[in-house]
Structure 1
Amino acid sequence: MECGVWVTVENGRAVKVEGDESAWHSRGNCCSKSQSSLQAAYHPDRLKHPLKRTNPKGEDPGWQRIGWDEAFRTIGDKVNETIAKYGGQSIFSMIGTSRIWSMSGGNAMTYYFESPNVHYASQICKGPRFVGTRISSYDGMFWLATTEMPRVYVQWGGASEISNYDDSCRSTVDAASSADTHIIVDPRMTGMGKESDIWCPVRPGTDGAMALSWANVIIENELYDDLYVKRWTNGPFLYCADIEPTGFETKAPSTRMFEVKTRLLKESDIKDGGSPKRFMIWDNLLEAQGKSGNDCLTFYDVDLGNFEGEGPWTPQTQGKQSEQYAPGAVPGFLPDPVQFSPEKDPALYGEFEVTLKSGASAKVVPVWQLYAERCAEYAPEKAEGITGVPAETIRKAALAYGQRLDPSTGYGNGGIQYMLAIEHSGNAVQNVRCFDSLVGITGNFDTPGGNRGGTKGGWGSQFTPGGKMNPPEITEKILGKDQFPLLYPWLGMFSDARTVLEAIETGKPYGMHLCMLSSGDHMNMVNASYAWEQLKKLDFMFASELWHAPTSQLSDILLPVHHWLEVDCVRISQGATGVEGATCRAIEPPSDTMWDIDIYTNVVKAMGKEWLSTAESDYPTGEEQLSETTKKAYGMTWQEFRQHFQDNGWTDCKEKYPDTWGTYRRYETGQYMAGSPGFWTPTQKQEIWSTVLETYMPDSGFELPSYKEPPHSPIADPELCQEYPYVMTTGRRIPVYFHNEHRQLPWCREQWPVPRVEINPEDAAELGINQGDWVWIESKWGKVRQTADLYYGIDKGVINCEHQWWLPEFSSPSKGFELVNINCLMDKDAQCPIGGATNIRAVPVKLYKATPENSPNGNPTPCDIDGTPMISTPDDPRLKAWLPGGTGTDQHYED
């Protein structure tokens, strides 16, 4: 959920968008994109009618206006024909970033397509953070309770003061400025970063090494939460290299069962008939009593949810109301930490000898010691050589984060706002696990101002009517599972985007023939040029869109959708803000457009399939499906809830749901595990040693949090970096844009007319590049042009480019993305080895000035196919053509 806003409507027309003063999660503020939304809703080039292609793909589509009946009939016939000829697995959805009504509906449609395949922006945006936290602790625990004002605010690899979900912009600035210490970890100096107390300018892609270095400082100075580590992590569990991995069946996040196989010592390893769900621990108290060997062992029982000797588990009810909470919100309940009873002292260090059930002796070591040894490999002096950050700066930052400012609270100084950048280095999931462990051991897991995960309320962060999970015989065909075994059966969240595109190209392991495009695009991962060429080969694509955008230009049927100002829908915080409410239709949509949810329902109807719903209608309207949701949570129809929201404003989920969102340390109360203590892992502990990765990727070295050089870094690929000597990062937030959106809105484009590459002025001088020059940026895999922005806030040898640019003013089918989109420079095969996220933040490139001699059309400025230059100045007359009531720059299809 984004900023809460008021929309002022006069005579049926929206005239102003401003911050909602009752929206405490956004502090009554909103960003520039809010007001500019008026220009999107009334844009002359907005799609207003269904269209069909009449020309081959890759050429001028030759759009022809059609009616909705023809559009749905064509789509239904093509989908059914594809399923009959090739099987449902040959269809995939391409869905995008956090449009609650389109992204989630796209997921639901895979059930009707009988397909496991989704080309999902989540693979590179939040997906690695979800995967990493699901493996290690609990789904989505990367979300920081920013509005609860962490005492030490750490922003790592992002700029949420400009743009983010939930608590961004003003909320972020307030949290950072009120913190005792503000730390930024980022290769470039961000706008808010110049106000920080400590800046760690890491070499792009080395975030994992920095996180492990912080952990080393915290361990060496004994700043970790001893009770939490011993009771709630698997740090005390014993690793035994001398046994074969064994285990038990348990449920994965996908709800499928899988067999855990681990070398962590279990009762079944030392005792005939012993339980594989009893994990052994060396108790220092037993050793102090003069016992030895197996007599020093105790255990944690996964079935019972308790340690040996403890009575039946019951939720912790002792505690107090938190004194640290967001202004405007209610306090939450903070349970007291449960102590060991009877007393135990699980060993964290040491090598011990035990006797296996075979009678053989074996050496065992606590997981915590292995983790401490791993972190010691990245002590500040060693991490300096990797990250480029001075050892003393690393140490200063780690101590500021780890030393509790107020020990009386019983928890740490706050979580870590680790953001999108850490997912883009080729080591995405392991980066997440480095942060997950760091947050946990410092006592900042599910605490005020800590990492709390996604809000739990009356509905999920996606409005998902109509679908259900595919059966195993369909899901097991998911593309990418051979290279990324977590994709199925453990995860079941998305297919691998590269493998989907390669299946179009090669037909292996099976061909892909049809795509449904819903808020997704081809420019966000893999390599944009490669993706474009493959999508051109599809038999059929249909798209729900607001615009003639690059990816939708390849569709065969183009369906016009409602703008957010025209939509009714439930809303809830994605992250840890704890707010739910509604998006309320402010203006009527163009008469021949349709809401995404209604499009999905009609497609299913055209396929002749039953729409799964509890509504009375066989094919319920979007409003009927909204009522299904609001009745369950509030006992109200949608119209009743909509009025309730208008009258009463935003719901504080802590107040409405006190036992779930209103309670901290939910691992103590059974909220994570539906009535059992602990975390959503096979061991019920925050897993520093991942039994999931040990099971699915045995002997990979990924069991512990680890660092890996980006695949083409100066260290990993020095020969390539000699030819391409600059390290390119990308993906930064731009105040007037969101990923690929808003390039056709006049207020936005006149503020930021061209894509920029930030270059250190010393590098620019050596290259003969001046401020504002068009510059070629070239990698082994492609080249594009952007304009030079000389900036001392980025190190020599590093450049920062802008992502997902395209040119709505162009008439070419591609809309010029191949000329300016930095995602054309990526190595499609450089991926996170666990979740498949494309490496896009540490790419070797070379730079040189664009000149008439080395530029197409003899013009350094990128030009359309007819030689017309792109908009590059704020006084370009085409910007006025985009104003409401203007002529636009696209062809229109009115009566």
Structure 2
Amino acid sequence: MPQSSLQAAYHPDRVLYPMKRTNPKDAPDPGWVRITWDEAYSTMAENYQELIDKYGGETIMMMSGTSRCWCMGAYGVFPLLFQSPNRVTPYQVCKGPRHFATLMQSSYAFSWQATVDKPRVMVRWGGSTEMSNYDDSCRMTVDSAKEADAFITVDPRLSNLGRESTIWQHLYPQTDGALALSWIHVVIENKLYDELFVKRWTDAPFLVCEEMGPTPGPMGAKMQAGFFQTMTRLVCESDLKEDGSPFRLMCWDAIQNSRALDTLVGITGNWDTPAGNRGGTTSFLRTIDVNFGGNVNMGGMGLNVQCVERPGEVEYDPVFNIKLHEAMGRPFSDDPKNPYPTEEEYCDWFVRASGMTWKQMVEKFQKDGWWDCKAMTLKSLEGDPEGWLDAGGTWGLYRRYQLGMLRPDKKPGLTTPTGKLEIWSTVMETFYTDETDPLYNADEKYHDDPDYAGVEGHARDILPDWRPAPLGRAAAPEMEAEYPFICNTGRRIPVYFHSEHRQLPWCREQWPVPRIEMHPADAEKVGVKQGDWVWIENENGKIRQVVDLYEGIEPGVVNCEHQWWYPELNQMGHGFELSGVNCLVYRDVRDRHSASSYLRAYPVKVYKATPENSPFNNPVPCGEDGKEIITAGNDPRLKEWAVLNYGEGE
């Protein structure tokens, strides 16, 4: 719904000018007053510096949302500005696990699917890319599924596109790793693997040699690609400080699931191949610069050109970063002659490899349209200086591990210490020994477990592995009596992106309230029907969502929507605790390798919300003043949000 972006840009509640609090934080009225940008920058710089001088930069924690183009100061420049490692990003519940897994096992972020090439057999595992946030994934997914000889969907939930599958594997939540390893077993037993790739580009041949034990040495391995130092550092129990983090590291593995899938892709000959899984392919812009260039995965590159006027005194995010550096007296750029570039100079620097200024590129783009990335790569191969290959463009090139395009030393191979796809991970081997294994040392019950103790147990982390989720039915059957449902979360909602857009009237009209999907048989058991508000509860709390009957999930499993809040409630937190499913997440259970949150397959109970068991005698969530949230598209508050505000009373 592109029109909704106008409502986001010019929303009447958007802050258009720097504002300063004049009353204490516990006062009912914060006393916001408008100030100039100069005063805002100087005030921030003074207060930040005071904290740094008194406590050190580590006292400052930065938080940033997901990668919506420019709002990523917390990812990059602020840790350097404040000299603080304490930043919070959504990486560990987004691309992080599969990026970390491929980083330690093959090459960083080689988990994307080739978008233009059409696979004969398309496997979509645990996602709804037909309505994802990536610009080209939706059309590509539908086209690829339609044109494939076979389309396989692996998902606990039957999605709209999943209905068109040749095979729908409706696995039980949190058994992905077991299924992936089973597929690997079938591939090996039936000799369906790509023998040349397995022999030349994986460490599999080293795993079947007689009388060959684990590779010795504290930092990597000696194999054909030579000796390379492992730089990755994994979390250990010894990292936890007294009175510090309460997280206990459990054996539920987003990392191990991703490693199993990466292994499956590799041994079947689909690693960085046409129609296979790919690492990022770029134009002359590096991956880190992609905020300037439009999505290049479909073979074309555009530019993210400002197309609406900024309301009020809203600053461009990179300009904010530059001016805060200037206010704190710290150079932003590494050019001593120009430590604080202007907005135009900043944009020129990012596109310098094109040989044009930002203004020139914008004019060319608006005149000629998108660049054909493959054509620009071919120009380079033909010796045309206008090509992008020398500037980093890689679109249209495959099997880049054979071309020396993945490694910093330009040698053939993957970016692991051995230069191979490491089914036996030397990174895991380096940091998880019997002496350092956090789980083994933390719980003595594992010392007598023949599947875990000694080298055999240690090897379960070195190789892709699966163990039952710690709160699933197999691992925690005692919880079923009180909490009979397994809760899944995180599915895509077509009109929202995670926590965004609940304040946009056109979106909220389409999807006014959060929904919990239940199988009709389960709804009948607990006495609820379509449209009822219900309580979803476990040991961590309880929330309310609306029943949506759906036969596309297994009985005993419910599917809750995530990241709900109510901007119409004028109170701290805007009522996220009323329906936000993350309130039910077990905070002390994390992936032991990457600390990813346990967002799937946790136990809950569901029962009808009634006047007797609801605050204000109202099953519908209400604010602290008893006023109901917006529940329908005809709520007059949506019309108030539809009045666009351009600043200065416009």
Shorter-normalised TM-score: what interval? 0.7 to 0.9
How is 1:308-387 mapped onto 2 (pairs within 5 angstroms)?
none
1:852 and 1:859 in contact (8 A); partners too: yes
> Shift of residue 848 of structure 1?
0.4
Determine if the alignment matches structure 1 residue 37 to structure 2 residue 5: yes
Does the alignment pair 1:597 with 2:423? no
The one-character-per-residue Cα deviations of 1:551-577 (angstroms, maximum 9, x if unpaired) are xxxxxxxxxxxxxxxxxx612438x54
Q: 1:153 aligned to 2:122? A: yes
**How far does residue 686 in structure 1 lie from its aligned partner after superposition?**
0.5
- 2:454 is matched with none
Look up the match of 2:91: 122
Which amino acid in 1 is paired with 2:420? K
State the distance in 2 between where 1:50 and 1:461 align.
32
Counterpart Cα distance in 2 of 1:91 and 1:600: 16
- Corresponding residue SS for 1:570: coil
- Hey, what does 1:416 align to over in structure 2? none
Write out per-residue CA displacement over residues 30-54 of structure 1, whole angstroms, 9 at most, x where no aligned residue. xx2x222122122211221112233
Determine if the alignment matches structure 1 residue 671 to structure 2 residue 405.
yes
2:429 maps to 694
Distance 1:619 1:845, change over 3 A: same
| Matched-pair contact (CA < 8 Å) for 1:89–1:117 | yes
Tell me the equivalent position of 1:790: 549
* Range moving further from structure 2, 617-626 or 227-236: 617-626
User: In the alignment, which residue of structure 1 is the partner of 2:187?
Assistant: 218
Contact between 2:255 and 2:591, CA under 8 Å: does it hold in 1? yes
2 CA distance for matches of 1:578 and 1:694? Answer: 39
1:549-560 alignment to 2 at 5 Å? none
Task: Note if 1:452 corresponds to 2:278.
Answer: yes
Q: Would the alpha carbon gap of residues 642 and 301 (structure 1) be closer, same or farther in structure 2, given more than 3 Å must change?
A: closer
Of structures 1 and 2, the one scoring higher in RCO (CA 8 A, sep 6+) is: 1
Q: Which one of the candidate residues 536, 540, 552 is aligned to 1:777? A: 536
**Shift in Å at residue 244 of structure 1?**
7.4
For the residue of structure 2 that corresponds to 1:785, the secondary structure is strand
Query: Closer, same or farther in 2 for the Cα pair 1:84/1:435, shift >3 Å?
Result: same
Identify if the C-alpha distance between structure 1 residues 234 and 883 changes in structure 2 by more than 3 Å, giving closer, same or farther: same
1:624 equivalenced with 2:345 (yes/no)? yes
Q: Residue by residue, what CA displacement relative to the aligned partner does 1:659-687 show, whole Å, maximum 9, x if unpaired?
A: 53332111111101142011000010000
User: Do 2:7 and 2:644's aligned partners in 1 also have CA atoms closer than 8 Å?
Assistant: no
- The answer to whether structure 1 residue 246 and structure 2 residue 216 are counterparts is yes
Q: Which moved more, 1:620-629 or 1:664-673?
A: 620-629
Q: Please name the residue that 1:274 is paired with.
A: none
Return the alpha-carbon distance in structure 2 between the equivalents of residues 871 and 837 of structure 1.
33
* Alignment size in residue pairs: 588
- What are the within-5 Å matches in structure 2 for residues 157-196 of structure 1? 157-196=126-165
> Which residue identity lines up with residue 814 of structure 1 in the other structure?
G
For structure 1, the 5+ residue unaligned runs are: 1-31, 248-258, 263-276, 280-299, 305-423, 465-568
Q: CA deviation at 1:199?
A: 0.4
SS at match of 2:616: helix
| 8 Å Cα contact 1:132-1:429 kept in structure 2 | yes
For 2:486 and 2:612, how far apart are their aligned partners in 1? 26
Q: CA deviation at 1:811?
A: 0.4
In structure 2, the partner of 1:346 is none
**Which residue, 585, 601, 607 being the options, matches 2:328?**
607
**SS of residue matched to 2:626:** coil
Instruction: Summarize the Cα distance change of 1:682–1:240 in structure 2 as closer, same or farther, 3 Å threshold.
Output: farther
**CA–CA distance in structure 2, aligned partners of residues 51 and 114 of structure 1:** 26
Mapped contact 2:125–2:154 kept (Cα < 8 A): yes
Counterpart of 1:402 in structure 2 is: none
Selected match of 1:706 from 448, 459, 465: 465
Q: Percent identity?
A: 49
AA aligned to 1:91 is: I
Deviations for 1:649-706, whole angstroms, at most 9, x for unmatched residues? 2223333235533321111111011420110000100000100011122244211011
Secondary structure of the 2:480 match is helix
Are the structure 2 counterparts of residues 426 and 874 from structure 1 closer, same or farther at C-alpha, using a change threshold of 3 Å? Answer: farther
Give the aligned partner of residue 140 of structure 1.
109
- Asked if 2 retains the 8 angstrom alpha-carbon contact of 1:100 and 1:463, the reply is no
For 1:240 and 1:619, the matched residues in 2 are separated by 61
Cα distance, 1:147 vs. partner? Answer: 2.8
Q: Does 1:680 align with 2:604?
A: no
Task: Using the TM superposition, give the Cα deviation of residue 894 of structure 1 relative to its aligned residue in structure 2, in angstroms.
Answer: 7.1
Which whole-Å deviations, capped at 9, do the CAs of 1:777-834 have from their partners, x for residues lacking one? 1121121100000001111000000000000111011101010110110111111100
1:22 aligns to what?
none
Relative distance call for 1:706 and 1:166 in structure 2 (3 A) is farther
Residue 261 (structure 1) shift: 4.7
Q: CA offsets per residue over residues 817-854 of structure 1, 9 Å max, x none?
A: 01011011011111110000001011110000000111
Q: CA distance change for structure 1 residues 146 and 722 in 2, over 3 Å: closer, same or farther? A: farther
Contact 1:455–1:572 (CA under 8 A) maintained in structure 2? no
CA distance in 2, matches of 1:165, 1:886: 29
Q: CA deviation at 1:893?
A: 9.8
1:585 paired with 2:585, answer no
Which secondary structure does the structure 2 equivalent of 1:845 belong to? strand
Give how far 1:886 is off: 8.2
Deviation at 1:242, TM superposition (A): 7.9
The residue aligned with 1:717 is 476
User: Does the 8 Å CA contact 2:227/2:418 hold for their aligned counterparts?
Assistant: no
Match of 1:817? 576
Structure 2 counterpart of 1:72, from 41, 47, 55: 41
Equivalence for 1:234: 203
In structure 2, C-alpha distance between the alignment counterparts of 1:147 and 1:58, rounded to whole Å: 56
| Alignment match of 2:600 (pick from 837, 841, 844) | 841
1:187-240: CA deviation from partner (whole Å, max 9, x where unpaired): 111111111111011111111111111111111111000111000000011478
Do the aligned residues in 2 keep the contact of 1:826 with 1:840 (CA within 8 Å)? yes
Give the conservation status (yes or no) of the 8 Å contact 1:186–1:201.
Answer: yes
Give the one of 385, 389, 395 matched to 1:661.
395
Q: Name the aligned partner's letter for residue 695 of structure 1.
A: T
| CA distance 1:301–1:107, shift in 2 (3 Å) | closer
CA distance in 2, matches of 1:685, 1:208: 22
Structure 1 residue 59: Cα displacement: 5.9
Deviation at 1:463, TM superposition (A): 3.8
* Matching residue of 1:560: none
How far apart are residue 61 of structure 1 and its match?
A: 4.0
Which residue of the partner structure matches residue 441 of structure 1? 267
**Partner of 2:523: helix, strand, or coil?**
helix
How many Å apart are 1:427 and its aligned residue?
1.1
Residues in 2 aligned to 1:573 and 1:426: alpha-carbon distance in whole angstroms: 34
Task: Select which of 209, 215, 229 maps to 2:178.
Answer: 209
- 1:49 and 2:49 are equivalent in the alignment: no
Amino acid at match of 2:219: V
SS in 1 for 2:509: helix
CA RMSD of aligned residues (A): 2.4
The one-character-per-residue Cα deviations of 1:757-788 (angstroms, maximum 9, x if unpaired) are: 00000000010111000010112112110000
Contact kept? 1:61, 1:813, Cα under 8 Å: no
Q: 1:635 to 1:261 in 2, by over 3 A?
A: closer
Decide which moves more: 739-748 or 653-662: 653-662
Q: Is the 8 A contact 1:104 1:463 kept in 2?
A: no
Return 608-617 or 719-728, whichever deviates more: 608-617
Task: Give runs of aligned pairs for residues 712-791 of structure 1, distance below 5 A.
Answer: 712-791=471-550
Asked whether the equivalents of residues 614 and 628 of structure 1 are also in contact (C-alpha less than 8 Å), the reply is no
Q: Residue 186 of structure 1 contacts residue 202 of structure 1 at CA under 8 Å; is this kept in 2?
A: yes
What corresponds to 2:242 in structure 1? none
Q: Is the 8 Å Cα contact of residues 227 and 417 (structure 2) preserved in structure 1?
A: no
Structure 1 residues 802 and 672: alpha-carbon distance in aligned structure 2, compared to 1, 3 A threshold: same
Do the aligned partners of residues 60 and 678 (structure 1) sit closer, same or farther apart at CA in structure 2, a change above 3 Å counting?
Answer: farther
What SS does the aligned partner of 2:44 have? helix
Given candidates 51, 58, 61, the residue that maps to 1:92 is 61
CA distance in 2, matches of 1:849, 1:643: 59
Instruction: Say which SS state the counterpart of residue 799 (structure 1) adopts.
Output: strand
Residue matched to 2:241 = none
- 3-state SS of the aligned residue for 2:546? strand
